[in-house]
Amino acid sequence: MVLLLFIALPAAADGSSDGLVRKYREALKDASPGELYVLMGEELFHAKRGPKKASLERCDFGLGPGVLKGAYAQLPRYFADTDKVEDVESRLASCMTALQGYSAAQLPRHGYGDARMGDFLRLAVYVAWQSNGMKLAPPLGHPKELDAYRIGELLFYRRAGSHDFSCATCHAASGKRVRLQRLTNLADPKDAQHGFPTWPAYRPVAGDVHTMQLWIGACMYQIRHPQLVFASEASIALQVYMAQQAAGGVIAVPGVKR
């Protein structure tokens, strides 16, 4: 399995990478390095950690304290205890603060490129993995969830910066590529249902598992935006919008991306 981490994607002779990525996924099907993250996440989840020497076993992901099965399929969602809409990582951060006593300074400042993300990636995959095979069905009934959706939609189409880019520049048309990277059309539910619920995903190019929040941060880097603040309102709102677009898609994590 360790060897697999170092397999590079061969160059596509026909200029299309889809077939190769599909083959690569099949080769990794039963032994994806991403599966290791599930195991590491499980260990972290049950370990007594932080100033309060407590585990995350009482963390409520929306279906009750300690209920993990199906919880990820309904994220992001509103949480009354924090009075915020939270995704899987920001919920983990809330539980690490409340249950384990971590301070804000011990949590990641940014998703992308922040070494403190390591635990979150593992924990997030572990939580998400327990919704595998279920349909994504994030709630939209709370006013703050609806607010997040509308703000996220505006942000998706907001062009800014030196290169005039928005999310929609790359993710609002079907069958397009940047270099050899196939782009998910998030404006089209059919494509969104395929692309979104396979995050968190293992990325051979990075040799790491990335969550959606971290991946949005990577997009911000490419579209010439600044470092995205971890668990910021915008990072959650964008995910609420994307999750609604992708609702009904079947969760299959950790996915394998390029």
Q: Does 250 bind another protein (CB under 8 A)?
A: no
Q: Which is nearer to another protein, 66 or 181 (CB)?
A: 181
d(CA 138, CA 50): 30
Token pair, residue 38, equals 């599930």
CA dihedral 59, 60, 66, 69 (to 10 degrees): -130
Q: Does 9 bind another protein (CB under 8 A)?
A: no
Minimum CB distance to another protein, residue 206 (Å) = 16
Q: How many CB atoms lie within 10 A of CB 24?
A: 19
Q: Is the peptide bond before 254 cis (omega within 30 degrees of 0)?
A: yes
Q: Does 213 bind another protein (CB under 8 A)?
A: no
Q: Which is nearer to another protein, 43 or 164 (CB)?
A: 164
Part of the chain binding another protein (CB under 8 A), chosen from 40-48, 54-62, 145-153, 250-258: 145-153
Which listed residue (4, 25, 189, 215) binds another protein by CB under 8 A? 189
Q: Does 237 bind another protein (CB under 8 A)?
A: yes
Q: How many CB atoms lie within 10 A of CB 117?
A: 24
Residue 59 bears catalytic tag = no
Q: Does 172 bind another protein (CB under 8 A)?
A: yes
Which listed residue (4, 63, 155, 250) binds another protein by CB under 8 A? 155
Listing DSSP states for 44-108 in one string gives: HHHS-BTTTTB-STT-BSSSSBT--TTTGGG-SEEETTTTEEE-HHHHHHHHHHHTT---GGGS-
Positive or negative: CA dihedral 237, 242, 244, 249: negative
Part of the chain binding another protein (CB under 8 A), chosen from 63-71, 89-97, 122-130, 166-174: 166-174
d(CA 25, CA 258): 9
Q: Does 163 bind another protein (CB under 8 A)?
A: yes
Q: Does 147 bind another protein (CB under 8 A)?
A: yes
Residues 33-62 binding another protein (CB under 8 A) are none
Q: Which is nearer to another protein, 4 or 234 (CB)?
A: 234
Q: Does 166 bind another protein (CB under 8 A)?
A: yes
d(CA 32, CA 1): 8
| 8 A C-beta contact, residue 137 and residue 247 | yes
Angle among Cα 229, 138, 55 to the nearest 5 degrees reads: 65
Part of the chain binding another protein (CB under 8 A), chosen from 31-39, 120-128, 181-189, 199-207: 181-189
Part of the chain binding another protein (CB under 8 A), chosen from 82-90, 93-101, 121-129, 224-232: 224-232
Helix (H) / strand (E) containing 203: strand 201-203
Residues that bind another protein (CB under 8 A): 11-15, 109, 140-141, 146-147, 149-151, 154-155, 157-166, 168-170, 172-173, 175-181, 183, 189, 220-222, 224-229, 232-235, 237, 244, 247-248
* Residues identified as active-site: 219
